[in-house]
Amino acid sequence: MNRHLRKTALVTAAITAGLLMTACQNGSTSNGSSPHTSASTTAKSQGTSKTSGTSQHSGSSGTSARNASKSQQGVNATITGGTVSYLAPGKYLVSAPGKTDQAFFVADDTQVHGAGTICGGSRCTLDQLETATRKAAVPADVTIRKGVATVVRERGAADTGSGTGTKGVNGTWLGQVSYLAPGKFTVSGPKGTEQAFFVADDTVVKGYGTICGSSASPSACTLDQLEAAAKKGLDAKVVIANGIATSVIEDH
């Protein structure tokens, strides 16, 4: 009887130990899955945060690029009698009396002509333009195409008097019109003299077949058409006010 009781006790103890081991294993598995799930959730959270940060950076950069691209499109102007000021690297502002201030960019092929302030020679570098305009606004005329300056031409002291085509020149000339530079022309006068003048966005240009249109009736022409015709040779009547042509009418 005693041996039977001891055997029964041993079997009961073995069964109890087995049940305890199973319970421990189940508890270990349950406790182990929780950290794994937490780590997975944390990784997903970090991934979401990282993706969100990248998106914000790309969005900002993309907006900036679009704004720069938009600023460089569609703006075509020839602004004379104004001053050029520095805004930011590669970006400037030209201001002229009676006209809206116009921001513009420069490019590697932008022609910069100096008259003593930007540089002493006829051709200046973009670095010289930046250095000069950082100190003070520089009197200059600017030709802009699609928001980018093709020419920045400084007006020197000699350009402030009459007979130079920038200020104080008023009159009507009938003669051969020749191209000098973007936005700048000459018209021959009496006894072979020549009068320089600028054109502006509001300059009226009419052609009778050479600038544009036909000989039958006058047609309104663009400044680009005037420039192309003047490079080949053109006779026209030019009315100038303060050095800027108010009208260029092709002779016919």
Q: Give which of 78, 101, 81 is closest to 91, Cα–Cα.
A: 101
**Is the confidence at residue 33, as pLDDT, over 60?**
no
Amino acid 121: pLDDT: 67
Confidence of residue 26 (pLDDT cuts 50, 70, 90): low
pLDDT tens for each residue of 228-246: 999 998 999 999 988 889 9
pLDDT at 9 over 90: no
Pairing of β 171-181 and β 234-241 = antiparallel
More confident residue, 170 or 16: 170
- Comparison of pLDDT for 67 and 1, the residue scoring more: 1
pLDDT, tens digit (0-9, with 9 covering 90-100), for 106-128: 999 999 988 889 987 678 999 99
Q: CA dist 117 to 58, 72, 93, 129, 139, Å?
A: 41, 27, 17, 9, 9
Residue 138: burial class (beta carbons within 10 Å; 0-12, 13-18, 19+): buried
H/E element, 14:
helix 2-71
